[in-house]
Amino acid sequence: MKLITIIVILFSISSISLASLDKVEKAIKQKGAKWRAGETSISRLSEHEQRQLCSVIIDHVDTANAAPGKKPKLPQRWDWRDVEGQSWVTPVKSQGGCGSCWAFGCVAQLESVKMISEGIPDPDLDLSEQYQVSCDPNNFGCSGGYMYPAYNFIRDVGVPPEDCFPYAGRDLPCEEACLDPELVSVDSWSRISYSVTWLKERTYEHPVTCAFYVYQDFFYYTGGIYKYVWGDLRGGHAVCIVGWDNRGFIVKNSWGDGWGEDGYFRIAFSESSSKSEVCFGMQAGRFFIDSSQAPGRNGTVISVWAGMKAQL
């Protein structure tokens, strides 16, 4: 009898997912959006499980210092996954069923900032999200978190390598981390003005963490330039911007490399506005590490990148 009940529940979830996919595809066509929808590992989750993935607590839309910016001359395309043939972005990870996107967004940026400040691309660099999930006293582990306190933790405490506290996808006591770990932190962080220009300018310096509102249609994303077309709000979500093309931002997600475009998505610039339901780019933070103290700085991407900008 239990097996029959489970089969009925799974069939019901699958039917609901397929019906929703049909609505998303029709909405994409009707609104002329430029992205593709399909069944994904996330779209088949229950509403509760989907909400768990989007656990950034956003109590207001951050419009502080939302001036247009100084409009610097930037390249039409930029992607930290390929700068002079080198990647300064670590592999896509999966937060599993834990509401820890706030920690994954922070650690994704920290890993890139560490590599860029030292001038050493390291595909094996892997810092511990579990440490922040379990040890950040101002957030709520798998039950969600605020972005600004999360940035404070990266500054004031930091996180160790993954093998010190491997990710478990659930709440664990902080005491389970290794003893006396070597922590990677930043000297300071600052808010980024909520505008496309400022987000692009700061992303040109290094990948940037931000939050946005996720709706039902986003779970069906399989490629293209995402723009909201259909569905109810599921929650706030933290991600890491790694670049842009001529139509939108390129963003690293934390739902595994089997979702979206190998774990990434692209989102239209028009969604970075308080007039958008999505409000992409809210509560973005910029990390600072004193690169003058970093080893191997000369002749690395730091100088190459500076030279490239000077020629624009």
CB 236 within 8 A of CB 53: no
Amino acid found at 53: L
Please tell me the distance from the alpha carbon of residue 143 to that of residue 139, in angstroms, as a whole number.
8
CB 304 within 8 A of CB 84: yes
Per the annotation, the verdict on 54 as an active-site residue is: no
CB 90 within 8 A of CB 123: yes
Please tell me the distance from the alpha carbon of residue 51 to that of residue 45, in angstroms, as a whole number.
10
Per the annotation, the verdict on 210 as an active-site residue is: no
Annotated catalytic residue: which of 101, 142, 210, 240?
Answer: 101
To the nearest 10 degrees (0 to 180), the angle between helices 101-118 and 301-310 is 90
Classified as helix, coil or strand, 189 is strand
Q: Which among 211, 218, 212, 216 is positioned nearest to 232, based on CA atoms?
A: 216
Annotated catalytic residue: which of 106, 206, 253, 279?
Answer: 253
Which structure tokens are listed for 148?
A: 């600004």
Annotated catalytic residue: which of 142, 206, 210, 237?
Answer: 237
Which DSSP symbol is given to 79? Answer: E
Per the annotation, the verdict on 253 as an active-site residue is: yes
Q: Which among 156, 86, 93, 102 is positioned nearest to 127, based on CA atoms?
A: 93
Which structure tokens are listed for 114?
A: 């560490």
The residues annotated with a catalytic role in the active site are: 101, 237, 253
